[in-house]
């Protein structure tokens, strides 16, 4: 008797869930949305940023590097037909990169923080600038 | 009889399980060595990570805010950097005679910081803080030349118009692929030349600077960005 009751209540629950599911599906399938309730979302096409004809990467030194030598090697890569200008607080240098675009030069540092400004100028006048801070210090801490 | 047998088997099983578990949990000498080794590896790895976590760094920035224990600066890339200051931090200012401390650092002053950078917290524990003067460098095209007052009007790539005063101290250079990098003079500079100027910004007028070094490129045209900025500037409103 007890088992019968249990089976019956299980069947009843399953049937109820099935009926409710069918009813919900039918409701969703037949639902219509009026145009007043719809909202059109449009995405503005982003304006493409013009790609510069020049690039500049600095391999050495690392930005914010602390060094213990007053002579610093600056090396990097840019367009082979560009002109690279390296400006520090006390000196400046104009370099022509190699055929593969590699360039390298040395600069003298002053005590403390030094700002290195590296500018690469393409033959059409376009340029790219990179600023780096290099600190010369012998302090131990 | 069967029931008794089952109870007996169950008891034996339980006993065996307890024995096996106890045996597995008891560390043997080999396990102890392994444990010590693992602990050592963990400690070394942690120390190495700790050592790599902190490195010496030097930055330059413009002071945004100062408190007794912290300075916030905008670095060269205009990122906000937080600098911690403690009793070991030394302060200096070449233009200041006497004792210089954190209370003497004012907003908008440019400082150089040398200290320990923590990669995790991205903060610098300052060991040395100096007030510095940084050179002001512009790159653009010569828009106008005033030969009487020895000044140049330069349009930068950002569209900014700068007046550059040429003084006796100004060193002028030119660069061409044929002649290379040579010493030149103010009279050789012509309109629309591609030019780089390094110098000091006028404290009172942000659109004026005094040049210490000038490098111009007679054979390289001005940047297209400068040209468009010049066109915008000359367009009648």
- B44 min Cα distance to partner chain A (Å): 22
Reported ipTM: the value is 0.74
In this predicted model, what pLDDT tens digit does every residue of A9-21 receive, in sequence order? 889 899 999 999 9
Residue B19: pLDDT band (50, 70, 90) is: very low
Is the Cβ pair B224, A125 closer than 8 Å?
Answer: yes
CATH superfamily of A56-136: Immunoglobulins (2.60.40.10)
Encoded tokens for B195: 């030019």
Distance CA(A77)–CA(A101), nearest Å, equals 5
Is the Cβ pair B213, A89 closer than 8 Å?
Answer: no
Domain boundaries, chain A: 2-37, 56-136
What's this model's pTM, rounded to 2 decimal places? 0.71
Report the pLDDT averaged over residues B148-172. Answer: 94
Label each residue of chain A as H, E or C.
CHHHHHHHHHHHHHHHHHHHHHHHHHHHHHCCCCHHHCCCCCCCCCCCCCCCCCCEEEEECCCCEEECCCEEEEEEEECCCCEEEEECCCCEEEECCCCCCEEEEEEECCCEEEEEEEEEECCCCCEEEEEEEEEECCCCC
For residue B226, the chain A residues in CB contact (below 8 A) are 125
Bridge partner list, B66: B71
Query: Using CA atoms in the order B170, B171, B172, B174, what is the torsion angle rounded to 10 degrees?
Result: -160
Encoded tokens for B217: 């490129």
In this predicted model, what pLDDT tens digit does every residue of A46-96 receive, in sequence order? 666 666 678 999 999 999 999 999 999 999 999 999 999 999 988 999 999
pLDDT at residue B52 in the model = 74
In this predicted model, what pLDDT tens digit does every residue of A83-115 receive, in sequence order? 999 999 889 999 999 999 999 999 999 999 999
For residue A135, the chain B residues in CB contact (below 8 A) are 57-58, 112, 114
- CA R_g for chain B: 34
Nearest C-alpha neighbor of B121 from the set B87, B81, B89: B81
Report the pLDDT averaged over residues B112-140. Answer: 94
Is the Cβ pair B130, A113 closer than 8 Å?
Answer: yes
Domains and CATH numbers, chain B: 54-131 (2.40.50.320), 136-234 (2.40.50.140)
Percent of chain A that is helix, strand, coil (3-state, to 5): 25, 35, 40
Is the Cβ pair B114, A121 closer than 8 Å?
Answer: no
Backbone angles phi, psi at B44, to 5 degrees: -65, -45
Nearest C-alpha neighbor of A127 from the set B182, B215, B62: B215
B124-154 burial, b for 16+ CB within 10 Å, e for fewer?
bbbbbbbbbebbbbbbbbbbebeeeeebbbb
Is the Cβ pair B57, A65 closer than 8 Å?
Answer: yes
Q: Are B220 and B194 in contact (CB under 8 A)?
A: yes
Nearest C-alpha neighbor of B59 from the set A107, A69, A134, A89: A134
Backbone angles phi, psi at B123, to 5 degrees: -115, 155
Distance CA(B172)–CA(B197), nearest Å, equals 9
Report the pLDDT averaged over residues B74-101. Answer: 92
Which of A68, A135, A140 is most worth mutating to test chain B (most B CB atoms within 10 A of its CB)? A135
Residue B121 to residues A102, B128, B141: CA-CA distances in angstroms? 35, 19, 43
């Amino acid at each position: 008797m007890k088992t019968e009751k249990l089976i019956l209540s299980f069947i009843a629950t399953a049937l109820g869930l099935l009926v409710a599911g069918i009813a919900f599906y039918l409701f969703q399938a037949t639902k219509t949305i009026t145009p007043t309730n719809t909202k059109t979302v449009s995405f503005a096409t982003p304006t493409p940023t013009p790609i510069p004809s020049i690039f500049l990467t600095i391999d050495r030194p690392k930005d914010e590097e602390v060094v213990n030598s007053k002579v610093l090697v600056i090396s990097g890569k840019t367009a082979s037909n560009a002109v690279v200008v390296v400006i520090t607080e006390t000196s400046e240098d104009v370099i022509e990169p190699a055929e593969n675009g590699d360039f390298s030069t040395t600069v003298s540092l002053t005590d403390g923080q030094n700002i290195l400004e590296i500018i690469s100028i393409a033959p059409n006048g376009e340029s790219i600038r990179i600023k780096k801070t290099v600190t010369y210090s012998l302090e131990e801490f | 009889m069967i029931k008794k047998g089952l109870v007996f088997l169950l008891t034996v099983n339980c006993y065996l399980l307890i024995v096996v578990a106890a045996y597995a949990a008891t560390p043997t000498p080999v396990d102890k060595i392994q444990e010590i080794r693992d602990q050592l590896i963990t400690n070394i790895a942690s120390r190495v990570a700790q050592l790599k976590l902190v490195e010496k760094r030097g930055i330059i920035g413009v002071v945004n805010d100062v408190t007794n224990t912290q300075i916030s600066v905008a670095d060269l890339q205009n990122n906000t950097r937080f600098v911690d200051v403690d009793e070991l931090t030394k302060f200096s200012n070449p233009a200041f005679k006497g004792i210089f401390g954190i209370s003497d650092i004012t907003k908008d002053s440019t400082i150089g910081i040398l200290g320990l950078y923590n990669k995790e917290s991205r903060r610098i524990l300052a060991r040395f803080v100096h007030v510095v003067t940084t050179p002001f460098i512009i790159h653009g095209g010569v828009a106008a030349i005033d030969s009487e007052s020895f000044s140049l009007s330069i349009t930068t790539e950002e569209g900014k118009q700068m007046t550059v005063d040429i003084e006796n101290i100004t060193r002028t250079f030119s660069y061409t692929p044929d002649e290379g990098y040579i010493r030149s003079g103010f009279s050789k500079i012509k309109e629309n030349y591609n030019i780089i100027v390094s110098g000091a910004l006028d404290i009172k007028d942000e659109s004026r600077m005094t040049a210490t070094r000038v490098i111009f490129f007679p054979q390289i045209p001005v940047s297209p960005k400068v040209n468009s900025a010049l066109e915008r500037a000359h367009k009648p409103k």
